[in-house]
Structures are given as structure tokens and as C-alpha cells.
Homo-oligomer: A and B are copies of this chain.
Amino acid sequence: MIDEENVVDPSHPRYKSLMIRKKVADAGVKGMLADSAMIAHGRGEAYDYLLGEQTTPSAMEATREAVARLVRAERPILSLNGNAIALAGADFLTIASQLGCPVEINIFYRTPERMGALLGHLKLLNSKLGLDVEILGGIPDARIPGLEGPRGACQSNGIFEADVILVPLEDGDRCEALIAMGKEVLVIDLNPLSRSSRTGTVGIVDEVTRVTKNMIQMIPEKPSVTEWNNNNALQSALNHIVESLSNKFE
């Protein structure tokens, strides 16, 4: 689909945000996304706008903490949904390669068509990047307890047995179910009030492509795990928004 709305003007003050949006729109055209993926992306845009479309100091700390826990993990895994793959598929493969772990496609509205489109896209990226990251999710043989229907499907040698899991843009139910399995859950979510942000072990309140770029830089540094207070980090993110909104019209 060639469409006026998908042409981005580089002089636009919010060019980066519009280019990110274009990735989602393009993935939608390729059948990689559910309708709700676009709406979810819009919610993210709004929160990112309020955060000033930048990585705040507290988000950088949370990213470092998440990297520390991925590096320490015995069986880390990256759980990828449609938006995560559309926005940062290549970066996630790079991170998995750095960590020596698999990725698993785990989508909320699972259809064979979407799974096929996402698997094909990741395989293409793997080959373009010269990587050999294991891509799981195509043949689920285990279930996340407490999640009904196709959204609970996972692979036993992947998400099911992982000890530390990175979940970008994850649904709140699934995040809670993974925590209930005893895993460390590392969340990337622009909404500091979402259930995923609040229930995750570490909530990174930042835009996914900025997070992946930072992670790729940090992994070789092998940072150390700290005693992490997730609520403090989320309140820092909220405070950043609050400051940007105060006395705007006075």
C-alpha cells in the first residue's frame, strides 16, 4: 500500500517518532500484527510524548538492571510479540546472540498467518545479520499456567523453562502468570502505571528501540545485579511526566 500517510518528512519536528510509527504500519500491511497492535502503539506514543521521547536517567538504570539479570541468568530468553518484532526485531536477535539465548515468538492473538509472517521476518533478519539465533514459538508444547486459550501456549525448551525472561510490550495477564511461575520478568513498557510495569521484576519505562540500542551497548560491560526497588523506579518515571506537565500554560 503506497499511501500519503506512510511518507515521512525528515524536517518534521517528530521525525523519529513518525519513522517508528511507519515501522508498525508497514508490519501491519505485512500481516504481522493484530488490529489492536496499532492502537497499542498509539498508547505508547502518547506516553513517550509525555516522557519527552528520551531515555530518562531512571529508565537507563532500569535497563542496566535488566541487562545485569539477563547476563546472570542460567536460561535467559527474549519473548517477542508482533510490535516488538516490527519495531526492533534485528536488535532483539543481536541481543539474543550476545547472550547466547533463544528468542520465542509469543503473541496474544495467535493465528497461523501471523505466526508465519513473524517467523519468516525473523528468519530473514537472522540471515541478513549473519546470525544463527534459535527462534522458538512455532511449535508450542507447553502451557503457561493460568492463561487460557492460545495465549498460554509456549515451548518447553523456551519460555517454559527459562529463569529470566525479557518481555517487551507485554500484556498484564501474561506478565502476572510468568511471575507466578517464579521467573524474573523484565518488562519494557512506556506506561509506568500498566500492570506489566507494576508486576514485573524490573520495569523499563522507555521506548523499545531506545532500550534495545542501550542494551546492546551494555551487555559487553556485564553490569552487576543490585537490590532493585521497582516501585521507586516507576515513581521516578511518573515524576518525570508530572514535571513536564506542571505549569505548562502559566
- Which chain A residues have a beta carbon within 8 Å of chain B's beta carbons? 3-6, 21, 24-25, 28-29, 34-36, 38-47, 49, 108-109, 149-150, 191, 193, 231-232, 234-235, 238, 241-242, 245-250
Contacts and interface: CB of A to CB of B under 8 A. Distances in A.
- How many copies of this protein are present in the complex? 2
5 contacts: A5-B108, A21-B36, A25-B36, A42-B45, A231-B249
B46 A191 contact: yes
A30 to B, nearest CB: 12
Contacts of A193: 49, 245, 248
A34 B5 contact: yes
A49 to B, nearest CB: 8
Contacts of A38: 35, 38-39, 42
Given A235-B248, A242-B242, 14 more contacts: A5-B108, A5-B109, A29-B35, A38-B39, A41-B42, A42-B45, A46-B191, A193-B245, A235-B247, A235-B249, A238-B246, A238-B248, A238-B249, A242-B246
A245 B242 contact: yes
Nearest to A29: B35
Chain A interface helix/strand/loop/mixed: helix
A14 to B, nearest CB: 11
A45 B190 CA distance: 14
A28 B235 CA distance: 36
Contacts of A41: 39, 42
- Most chain-B CB neighbours within 10 Å: which of A3, A41, A248, A250? A248
Contacts of A248: 193, 234-235, 238
Contacts of A232: 249
A148 B99 CA distance: 50
Nearest to A238: B245
Nearest to A4: B109
A226 B52 CA distance: 35
A18 to B, nearest CB: 10
- Most chain-B CB neighbours within 10 Å: which of A3, A25, A234, A245? A245
B3 A34 contact: yes
Contact of A43 (B29, B34, B35, B46): B46
Q: Which 6 A-B pairs have the closest CB atoms?
A: A42-B42, A38-B38, A46-B46, A39-B42, A231-B249, A235-B249
A71 to B, nearest CB: 27
A183 B39 CA distance: 32
